[in-house]
Amino acid sequence: MNQIFRSVKNYFSLVRFSHTVFAMPFALIGFTLAVSEENQDFSLRLLFLIILCMIFARNAAMGFNRISDRRYDKLNQRTKDREIPSGLVSTKAASIFVIVNSVLFIITTGFINKLTLLLSPVALFIILGYSLSKRYTSLSHFILGLGLSLAPVGAYISVTGVFELLPVIYSLIVMTWVSGFDIIYSLQDDDFDRSNQLYSIPAVAGRRRAIFISLAVHILTIILVITAGYLGEEGFVYWIGAVIFSVLLIYQHLIVKHGDLSRVTIAFGTTNGVASILFALFVILNLILKHQ
């Protein structure tokens, strides 16, 4: 039993399951937005399938990321103790884990509707492709953002079977928000990336410019949050969440300096995790009150 517990714990650590708080709340926004539409009913079954899709897709993406980065993780002092380079999870076992989760993701989309099934290989291509992008372009941060941005629009079309502008705006919020904080996270490895011919904005542009670019991207995020509020004609509750989310975005830029990266982990994990959860709570509550 202890061995099973340790194995499960290792896989949870491999995929950083706690980081699900970044995209999952926005998937719930997309779902709530969809069931708030006329002629759409709440379905617990459908919500369960969407959550499963999120888990399977993220497991596949993170597992593939750890496999593709294992050589670099072993060389990097910050990452050398991760599960694959440290031997806690073998490359073979991680590969099986990725394949199983990818297949389960595609199968689960088939139980939702035809459009989600048809789009599932495209979604997998994007979320898996991110792991290789850092070898070719410093825009890899935005490819990561694109992958996570599929959450709200994917949940929306799971319910409605169609694309609409407002869920796409929420996806753009996720894309810019994630891209911005991933630039901050990458500050820790700028020297390593340069010495190993890996591309990132901090490695290419330097820390000071990278922080400025991240701030500019997050200002765009705030503009998109305001746009979503106006397009959706949202109420007071939404705007409370929008203000909190925006303040937390700016806060991380106040605690991370190019010469002091001691609070990068707080900015990356804690601040953005709290921002995502609180924003989703206020948006969903607003939608519920709006359609009562």
Give the global pTM: 0.92
Residue count of the chain, please give it. 292
What pLDDT shows up at residue 9?
60
Residues contacting 43, CB < 8 A, separation 6+: 35, 159
User: Which spans in 69-164 are helix H?
Assistant: 70-75, 91-110, 114-133, 140-160
Distance CA(292)–CA(290), nearest Å, equals: 6
Residues contacting 42, CB < 8 A, separation 6+: 35
SS3 257: strand
Q: Which string of DSSP letters, residue by residue, matches 183-208?
A: HHHHGGGHHHHHHTT---HHHHH-HH
Distance CA(99)–CA(59), nearest Å, equals: 10
Comparing CA positions, the residue from 271, 269, 225, 268 lying closest to residue 248 is 271
Distance CA(168)–CA(104), nearest Å, equals: 25
CB 176 within 8 A of CB 221: yes
CB 200 within 8 A of CB 193: yes
C-alpha distance from residue 213 to each of 22, 135, 168, 206, 217 (Å): 21, 20, 23, 11, 6
CATH superfamily label, 2-290? UbiA prenyltransferase (1.10.357.140)
What pLDDT shows up at residue 147?
93
pLDDT per position as a tens digit, 206-246: 999 999 999 999 999 999 999 999 999 999 999 999 999 99
Distance CA(213)–CA(58), nearest Å, equals: 27
Which structure tokens are listed for 257?
């300096």
Which structure tokens are listed for 16?
């950083």
What pLDDT shows up at residue 22?
80
Comparing CA positions, the residue from 216, 227, 127, 224 lying closest to residue 173 is 224
Which structure tokens are listed for 258?
């190019």
CB 76 within 8 A of CB 66: no
Note down pLDDT in tens along the chain; length 292 residues.
Answer: 555 555 556 555 565 655 667 889 999 999 999 999 877 888 999 999 999 999 999 999 989 999 999 998 898 888 888 888 888 888 898 899 999 999 999 999 999 999 999 999 999 999 999 999 999 999 999 999 999 999 999 999 999 988 899 999 999 999 999 999 999 999 998 999 999 999 999 999 999 999 999 999 999 999 999 999 999 999 999 999 999 999 999 999 999 888 888 888 877 778 888 999 999 999 999 999 987 7
CB 16 within 8 A of CB 86: no
What pLDDT shows up at residue 50?
95
Provide the sign of the torsion angle of the four alpha carbons 190, 195, 201, 205, taken in this order. Answer: positive
